[in-house]
């Protein structure tokens, strides 16, 4: 699992530039620009988690608890190119958000593992 706390780090993810641009566009859409987006991320301690496999997702017990919460309380979910999906979940009362980026098939596997219905 790769965890990012800075929007500029998106370009370091092992995904296509098309997906990088889609993710950046979705993340910055509610704000005036990338700087404002980053400011809100810093204030709320938001993170982007890039998951590639089930074993990747279960590497850290603390992450597993947050991951289950994120999968249970999804605020929005956007389908991207190449079978990828980006979702947002608010995981703490402070407003901390976790964005999950993964293949749609992995999302389905994770929801099945945690017995979470897909509305």
Report helix angle 61-72 to 104-113, nearest 10: 100
Which residues lie below 8 Å from residue 72, measured CB to CB, with a gap of 6+?
89, 114, 116
d(CA 41, CA 36): 9
DSSP letter, residue 118: -
Q: Compute the average pLDDT of residues 3-15.
A: 96
117 vs 35: which has the higher pLDDT: 35
| Model confidence at 36: pLDDT above 60 | yes
| Model confidence at 29: pLDDT above 90 | yes
Confidence of residue 119 (pLDDT cuts 50, 70, 90): low
Confidence of residue 118 (pLDDT cuts 50, 70, 90): low
Buried b / exposed e over 51-81, threshold 16 CB at 10 Å, is beeeeebeeeeebeebbbebbeebeeeeebe
The pLDDT assigned to 6 comes to: 96
Confidence of residue 40 (pLDDT cuts 50, 70, 90): very high
């Amino acid at each position: 699992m790769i965890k990012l706390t800075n929007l500029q780090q998106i370009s370091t993810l092992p995904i296509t530039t098309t997906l990088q641009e889609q993710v950046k566009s979705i993340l910055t859409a509610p704000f005036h620009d990338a700087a404002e987006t980053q400011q809100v991320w810093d204030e709320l301690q938001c993170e982007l988690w890039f998951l590639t496999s089930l074993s990747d997702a279960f590497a850290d017990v603390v992450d597993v608890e947050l991951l289950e919460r994120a999968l249970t309380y999804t605020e929005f979910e956007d389908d991207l190119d190449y079978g990828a999906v980006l979702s947002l979940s608010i995981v703490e009362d402070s407003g901390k958000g976790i964005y999950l980026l993964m293949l749609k098939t992995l999302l389905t596997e994770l929801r099945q593992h945690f017995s979470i219905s897909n509305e």
